[in-house]
Amino acid sequence: MFDGNISGNITGTLYMLAYQILGILIAQILLKKEKSAIRILIGSVFGTIGLCWSPILFSFIAGFTKTSHICGLIFFALITILVVYIKSPSKVSGQKTNKNRKKQNHAEPKQHDSIKNYPFLIVGIPLFIFFCMMLSNHTLVTSDSGAFTTGQCGFGDMNMHLSFITSIANQHTFPPYYSLLPDTKLSYPFLSDTISSSIYIWGASLRYAYMLPMWLAIFQVMFGMYSFAESWLKSKWKAFLAFVLFFFNGGFGIIYFLNGKYTFSELMNGFYVTPTNLIDVNIRWTNTIVDMLLPQRATLFGWALLFPALYLLRRAWNENRKDFFIIVGIIAGALPMIHTHSFLALGIISLGWLIADMGKTTKFFSSDNDGKNIKKQRIILASIILFAFIFFSVISAIQNSAAEEINDKIYLAAGIIGVIILLCLTAYIFFTISKENRMNIIKTWGVFLGIVIIFAAPQLLYWTFGQVAGGDMLKGHFNWSNTGDIAEPYLLYYLKNIGLTAILFIPAWIFSKRKDIAQVFPALIIWFLCEFIVFQPNVYDNNKLLLAAYMLICCFVAGAICDWLKLAFFNSKLTGRILKYTVTVICVILFTVSGVLTMIREYYSGTKNACYELYNSELLDVCRYIEKNTPADSVILTANNHNNAVASLTGRNIVCGSSTFLYFHGLDFYERESSLTPMYENVNESENLYAKYNVDYILVSSEEYSTFPNLDEQAIHDKYPCEYSTETVRLYRVTNR
C-alpha cells in the first residue's frame, strides 16, 4: 500500500543502510590513503551502485521480489568480503609485505582530515537542509481535505517517477514495462526509480521511499561537486566559490522584475514566473537545485555518480593513478540505466581529458613560464573564442532570418562531422606521441574504456539503443532553446541567461593557465555538440548535458576570480581588504540573486497556502481499494491526465498515459490515445477495443468527465458491474480476473 507503515519504513531504511555500510567498507579498503570524508563519499557511491544493481541481477531470474533483494544483498556482501580478502596482507609472506607497507606508508602517508578543510559547509549544510525541506513539502503531502499535494516543480515529472516506482515494486515483472503504455519495454533510465522501489517493496510508505534515497543522493552530489572543485583548484576557498556559483546559479532574469515587466507578486504566486524561468522573454537557464535536482530524479542520481567519478578521474590522469581508472570504469559502467545523459557527459569529458593528457607534451603547452609562449597562447585562445562567437552568431542570424526552417539534418551532419574531427585528432595525437606514452595511455585510459564497455554495453544494447532507434531521439538542431519568434542574437541570449559567469568566462579563458585549459576543455566539446545535436525528443533536455559542462565552467571561473582578487588586493592594508570583501560580496550577489529568488519561490509553492493538488481524497480512496482488490498487473481504463492517481499510486497499468511523458520518451502512443475517446463515449461499439487492450476495469471520475465531454456512463453502468462507488468516483469491472 502507498500509505505504508512504520515497520516498512524501518526495514526499507535498514536495507538501504546495509548497502551503504558495505560500500563504505569497500572504500576504506581500496582508498585507505585518502581523506576520511572522501572514503565516505566514494563508499556511499559504491553503496548506491550496489542498491541499484545487485537486486537487478537476480530480478532477471526471480522477478523484482523480496527474494531477489535478499540475494542481491548477499551478493554485495560477498563482493565486500572478496575485496577485503584480496587487499589483506599475505599470510605466507607477511613479514615481507609489512616491510613493503612500511616503506610505502613512509613515502605516501595517509591524509588526515578535519572539518576545517570544508568551508563550503557554511552554505552546504543549510542548502542540504533546505533541499530536504523542499523535498518534504513537495512529496505527497496530505492536505486538510485529505488530498495529496505538491509544490510547483513536483506537479509534473514526479507523477511519472511514482508510476515507475509503484509498478516495478507491485507487479514484480522484470525487465519492467511501462505501466503508462502496457506491452512497451521500459527503456527510460529506470534505476533512478528502482532504488525507491527497493525500499517501497518492504512496506515503506511511497512518500518515504521516494524521499529517502534522494536525501542520500543530494549529499553525494554536493560533496562530490565540492571535492572535484577542490582537487582541481587546490584551494578550499576557490572550491567554495565554485560550489556557490553552481548550486545558486541564475542569470540576469532579475532585471525583468526590476524594470516592471513582471512583479514580485507574480514571482511568488505565478506558475513558473521566476528569474530563471521566463519563457516569454527567453530566460531558460534553470536553477540546478529546484529546477533540476528536485524534480529530475534521474539527473539527481546521475550527478550523484558523475561528480564523484569526475573527482576520481581527474586525479587518475593527473596523478597517473591506475587504481582510480579501474574504480571510475566501474562507476561509469553502472551509469547508463541510472542516467544516460550523465553517462554521455562522462564519456565526452573523458575524451577531452584524454586529448589533454596525450597533448600535454606538445609545443603549445610546453611551458607557462616562457613569456613568448604565454603571449602566443593567449592570442590563440582569444582567436578561438572570437571565432566561435562569430561562427555561432552568423549561423544563429541565418537561422532566425530564414524564410523556411533549415533542415535539421544539416545541423546533425555538422555535429557528426565535429565528432569525427575530434576522434581523428585523438587518433593523430595518440600515434604521434612516444611509444612509452602510448603504452601508458593503454594501461590507464585503455583499461578504463575496456571496463566501461564490459559493464555498459549490455545496458545500451538491451535498453538504450532500441529506444533511440525507434523514436525521435537523435536529431539535428541549432542554438538549444533560443529559437522561434522570441529568438535573440546568439551572444546576448547566453549572456543574459547564464549571467556573470558567462561574461567572466571570456577573460578567464584568454588569461588562463595551461592546466586549467586542459580541465575545462571538455566543457567546450559538450557545448559544441549540444548546439548541433539533440539527444532526446525534447530539445530543452539538452540542458542535462549543458549543466555538466557548466559545472566545469563554474570551477574554471571561480579559480580565475580568486586569482584576480588576490592579484588586485595582494598585501593590501585594512582599506584594501574592506574593498576586496565588498567587491566579493557584490559579485556573489550578482551571481546568485536570480537563483536564490527562484529557490525561495519554489519552497513557498509547497507550503499550505500555495501548494498544488495532485490527487483528491476520493481518488486516494479508490486507489486503496484497487491495491487491495485487483491483480497487480490489471489494466484500468482511465483518462490520460499527467497526474493520474491510478498509475502513480497503485502501479497498475492504464491503457494510455500522458503524452507529456510518452512523447518525450520517443514512444508511439497515438493509436492507444485515440482509442480512449470511443471507449468512454461509444461503449457498446468498443468491445473490440476493450479486448484489444486487455481492459479489466473502467474508472469514472471528474477527471474522465472533463477529458471526455460525451462520456456515456449510463452505457458503462448497464454493461458492466460497478465494484466501487462514491459520489464522484466509480470503478466498473470488465473481466472476471
CB 519 within 8 A of CB 383: no
Task: Based on the fold, state whether residues 577 and 720 are members of the same structural domain.
Answer: no
Return the C-alpha cell found at 41: 563519499
Task: Based on the fold, state whether residues 544 and 688 are members of the same structural domain.
Answer: no
Answer with the one of 605, 639, 668 that is the final residue of a domain. 605
How does pLDDT run across 483-492, given as a tens digit for each residue?
777 888 899 9
Answer with the one of 88, 108, 126 that is the final residue of a domain. 88
Task: Based on the fold, state whether residues 581 and 662 are members of the same structural domain.
Answer: no
Task: Based on the fold, state whether residues 6 and 69 are members of the same structural domain.
Answer: yes
Residue 435 lies in a domain: yes
Least confident among 78-92, 101-115, 569-583: 101-115
How does pLDDT run across 86-140, given as a tens digit for each residue?
887 654 444 444 545 444 444 456 666 667 778 888 999 999 999 999 999 999 9
Task: Based on the fold, state whether residues 477 and 450 are members of the same structural domain.
Answer: yes
Task: Based on the fold, state whether residues 391 and 492 are members of the same structural domain.
Answer: yes
Return the C-alpha cell found at 68: 531477489
The answer to whether residue 71 scores a pLDDT higher than 90 is yes
CB 620 within 8 A of CB 162: no
Task: Based on the fold, state whether residues 259 and 406 are members of the same structural domain.
Answer: yes
What is the C-alpha to C-alpha distance for residues 579 and 434, in angstroms, rounded to an integer? 51
Return the C-alpha cell found at 515: 592546466
* Helix (H/G/I), strand (E/B), else coil: 92: coil
Residue 214 lies in a domain: no
What is the C-alpha to C-alpha distance for residues 487 and 389, in angstroms, rounded to an integer? 16
Virtual torsion, Cα 447, 448, 451, 457, nearest 10 deg: -120
Task: Based on the fold, state whether residues 269 and 408 are members of the same structural domain.
Answer: yes
Q: Which pLDDT does position 363 carry in this prediction? A: 53
Q: Which pLDDT does position 118 carry in this prediction? A: 82
Residue 160 lies in a domain: no
Q: Which pLDDT does position 581 carry in this prediction? A: 75
How does pLDDT run across 594-622, given as a tens digit for each residue?
999 999 999 999 999 889 999 999 999 99
Q: Which residues pair with 731 in a beta bridge?
A: 699, 724
Please choose, from the candidates 318, 320, 339, 329, the residue with its C-alpha nearest in 3D space to the C-alpha of residue 228: 318
What does DSSP assign to residue 675? H
Instruction: Please measure the distance between the N-terminal and C-terminal CA atoms of the chain and give it in whole angstroms.
Output: 20
How does pLDDT run across 426-450, given as a tens digit for each residue?
999 999 988 898 999 999 999 999 9
Residue 190 lies in a domain: no
Q: Which pLDDT does position 578 carry in this prediction? A: 76
What is the C-alpha to C-alpha distance for residues 190 and 167, in angstroms, rounded to an integer? 11
How large is the average pLDDT for residues 276-293? 93
Task: Based on the fold, state whether residues 385 and 515 are members of the same structural domain.
Answer: yes
How large is the average pLDDT for residues 299-311? 98
Q: Which residues pair with 653 in a beta bridge?
A: 635
CA within 13 Å, CB half, 654:
29
Task: Based on the fold, state whether residues 504 and 649 are members of the same structural domain.
Answer: no
Helix axes 236-247, 206-233, angle to 10 degrees: 140
Task: Based on the fold, state whether residues 634 and 601 are members of the same structural domain.
Answer: no
Expressed as residue numbers, the domain containing 67 is 1-88
What is the C-alpha to C-alpha distance for residues 365 and 513, in angstroms, rounded to an integer? 9
Q: Which pLDDT does position 359 carry in this prediction? A: 82
> 343-368: b or e for each residue (b if 16 or more CB lie within 10 Å)?
bbbbbbbbbbbbbbbbbbeeeebeee
Residue 41 lies in a domain: yes
Residue 64 lies in a domain: yes
Task: Based on the fold, state whether residues 693 and 553 are members of the same structural domain.
Answer: no
What is the C-alpha to C-alpha distance for residues 659 and 670, in angstroms, rounded to an integer? 9
What does DSSP assign to residue 542? G
Q: Which pLDDT does position 570 carry in this prediction? A: 64
Q: Which pLDDT does position 102 carry in this prediction? A: 47
Total domains, the chain: 3
How does pLDDT run across 497-555, given as a tens digit for each residue?
999 999 999 999 998 888 899 899 999 999 999 999 998 888 889 999 999 999 999 99
CB 38 within 8 A of CB 31: yes
Residue 174 lies in a domain: no
The total of other beta-carbon atoms located within 10 Å of residue 521's CB is 18
Q: Which pLDDT does position 178 carry in this prediction? A: 96
Please choose, from the candidates 156, 167, 164, the residue with its C-alpha nearest in 3D space to the C-alpha of residue 187: 164
